[in-house]
Amino acid sequence: MIRIQQLQSQIVEPAGLKGQYYEQRPQNKLEWFKNNGWGYKDTKFVLEQDGAVRLTGNKYRFSNQRMMKFKDWAEAKVGIDLSLNCEAQNEIPANPPIINEQFMNAIQGQFNEISFDNAQRILHSHGQTMQEIYDLRNSKLARIVDCVVFINSHAQAELLVKLAVEYNVMLTVYGGGTNVTWALQCPQEERRMIVSVDTSRMNHIRWVDRKNMTALVETGVTGKDLEKELSRYGVVCGHEPDSVEFSTLGGWISTRASGMKKNRYGNIEDIILSVKVVTPTGTLSQSLDYPRVSSGPDLNQIVLGSEGTIGIITEAVIKIKAQPEVCKYESILFHNFALGTEFMYKLSRSKVWPTSVRLVDNNQFQFGMALKTMPHSKREEFMDKVKKYFITQFMQFDPDQMCLVTVLFEGTKQEVEFQEKKVFELAKFYKGFRAGAENGERGYFLTYMIAYLRDFAMQFQFIAESFETAVGWKNVPAVCENIQRRIVEECSKRGVEKEPFVSFRISQVYDTGATIYVYFGFGYKGIADPVKCYSEIEDAARDEIMKNGGSISHHHGVGKLRKQFMQKQIGDTGVEILKRIKQQIDPKNIFGNQNLI
């Protein structure tokens, strides 16, 4: 409070919103979020009788527009058999809860909402991996939380942790539920009562300092709501992971997240100045906005990437920036992935980095083209044919080789014009062809569709997922080449009938390397245990990544999905350090999700 009073001349609160939750959606997530898949309940891809694919609902720019090319592409190029319709089960089974009577007596009347509803318990016990969604559609989760407590404040977090320690109850923290690392899976052998701590009602912006360009924010706020609220002050956070609609500030911190706009705004570790976290041995409180300190090791780094293993992150001071004057999408065609990769490498050396720049391979380029909506007029249809003829016949781009770079420029008019000039000069050197804003914007839009499309494919006995890595520039070609080879080999060993779909995207550039996304999937008809088969192939691909100089993750995190690779990543001493930090902060293993190590 003293800190806020000292900065009162620079700090402002939104009129009429003090003490109110910033709600874009109904407070009960079950009212609008799917219980067995990704995203909004009213939004999914459907196959219509005439072969068109349509995105239902009204949440996105291309909602309810028909896509006539996707069916043929999916069957011919991906190998999806759209005759194998396999609907999800209607109800998801749930085991009865384990109850710690003393703990329940202690928390009665202390919190606004405590839920034993089976649907809430299931929702709070899974993330968004293919394996988890498959189980939700076809069977059950092996162990789910016993109870969900919705906290409204830092004080409530402290009380809940205190009582959990006193009565030996395990806690797991829930933000947006978008993790793809099995981070929310409950340990099957856990015999204590497991309580999920839902932070979604901790979504206030406590203050905004326009002079220092910082803000104190509660960590249950989603990225989408954070940006909408900050826009009232004329500022942005700028952190936009692919899950920005649903993921939370607390989740970003706990996974060391990255966003597509990191070139301008930084990764989460660059955005966070300080955090407040409630641990079983006390509260680490650093609500500071110093530009830099030299006071021993940075305690933020213990919290960043901790994946819910040491406490509840309740608040963070973040950096903010003025809203950009100009936001402009663009795209560039290259003749092949090798030329596109060389362009990305040279761009990383130029220091003229757009807000975002991504390279997709030919498979993803064709994927994007297959999702083009029907032309709105005969003229538009004619112009599309002219463009295709010009690119393939006159410019000599091979439809089965060409790839696409999507670009987002942000800044002042002068900044954007300067960046555009430099980027397109470099692209020209590598025979790149400027493909326009529409293709660029569509490319970024498709990012938000990937999980919806994964769920669509699953109903036709086709399972797919993505994973990512960070790798030095000299190893980028080898990583892509050898992952492709290894996945094909592993699928063949396990009796996968058709060649798997494998695709690559370079989604981030750094001075020293790049982030590579890998998408792969296969039809599982005839496979006795599709989830086991897929998991083994994914582990083999991760092993291949590490053999070729890649990391176990760039921004998804470790969870329980990749913890078997941690010793190889950080060494025996590194693992021991993490174990001792955990033991010192949480000796009773209250936050016993078993992530990381």
Number of CB atoms found within 10 A of residue 273's CB: 22
- What is the DSSP code string of 567-588? HHHHHHHHHHHHHHHHHHH-TT
User: Which residues 6+ apart lie within 8 Å of 206 measured at CB?
Assistant: 4, 215, 216, 217, 218, 315
Q: Is 507 exposed, middle or buried, given 0-12, 13-18 or 19+ CB atoms closer than 10 A?
A: buried
Instruction: For residue 160, give the nearest of 36, 280, 323, 324 by alpha carbon.
Output: 280
CA distance 532 to 538: 10
Confirm or deny that 256 is annotated as ligand binding.
yes
Confirm or deny that 247 is annotated as ligand binding.
yes
First to last CA, the chain: 38
CA distance 578 to 474: 31
CA angle centred on 314, ends 142 and 293, rounded to 5°: 125
Contact in structure between 112 and 22 (CB atoms under 8 Å)? no
Confirm or deny that 553 is annotated as ligand binding.
no
**Identity of the residue numbered 129:** T
**Identity of the residue numbered 109:** G
Confirm or deny that 392 is annotated as ligand binding.
no
Confirm or deny that 245 is annotated as ligand binding.
yes
Alpha carbon distances (Å) from 218 to 314, 316, 337, 378: 6, 7, 42, 51
- 3-state DSSP assignment of residue 389: helix
Alpha carbon distances (Å) from 434 to 354, 403, 437: 15, 12, 9
φ/ψ of 568, rounded to 5, equals: -70, -35
User: Which residues 6+ apart lie within 8 Å of 223 measured at CB?
Assistant: 237, 239, 240, 241, 243, 244, 245, 247, 248, 249, 252
Q: Give me the active site residues, please.
A: 517
Confirm or deny that 312 is annotated as ligand binding.
yes
Confirm or deny that 98 is annotated as ligand binding.
no
- SS3 for 50-98 is CCCEEECCCCCCCCCCEECCHHHHHHHHHCCCCCCCCCCCCCCCCCCCC
Q: Which residues are annotated as a binding site?
A: 242-248, 255-258, 307-313, 454
Q: Which residues are annotated as a binding site for substrate?
A: 454
Q: Which residues are annotated as a binding site for FAD?
A: 242-248, 255-258, 307-313
